[in-house]
Structure 1
């Protein structure tokens, strides 16, 4: 799915649903992009789709670092490593502890072992002019 343009929130939600439908237990998805690129919005859309609840409260895990969800598709972890002080701290978060969990990680570049374990990488960018988002999806390992 390379080179996807998302003009608005509805397109982001639709991409989130498409990605969620393809995710399998054990998948580790990296959400990459600058601040404001839409990583959390896309994660929210994926989680809501996995949960089957379009109104599910999905807060940003910026301060908690990890938000867990129980969904009909199994355990889902949403992590934001932006505030990670040291890459070794990632072990304490338990992101790789449940081999059946679907894990979504923002700012994964702060923990090389997470990057190495990725099964899917979603890169989001703000196009020139600031309208919409440009997305590239690549398969990891």
Structure 2
């Protein structure tokens, strides 16, 4: 919903800062219809409860974004380690390195990395490719 749509539905003229807050609440409302949201907003916009819910949504959203960033960083470190291990497994023909890399990122991801990097495929890698391509 645009700011203009909101203003048309509610009859209220708002600032862009107010609209940013309203839009966050609208997005948090899930699949609520625009008209229904605007009608509810007109009835309850001055409610302390609504203000507290908005504040809490904002805090939780920030926490979720922070956690997602941490998980992305952890996955990237895990992937980097697995790629290093796959290189060492190929260089030294070491099944322990290979097994640990597969445990970290999964067989399909490991095989894809090996194909893209030009690393030699092992029998289990070829078997994985055959299973994927047979689907």
TM-score, normalised by the number of residues in structure 2: 0.24
- Which structure has the highest strand share of the two? 1
Query: Which of structures 1 and 2 has the larger relative contact order (alpha carbons within 8 angstroms, sep 6+)?
Result: 1
Kindly name which structure, 1 or 2, has the bigger radius of gyration based on alpha carbons: 2
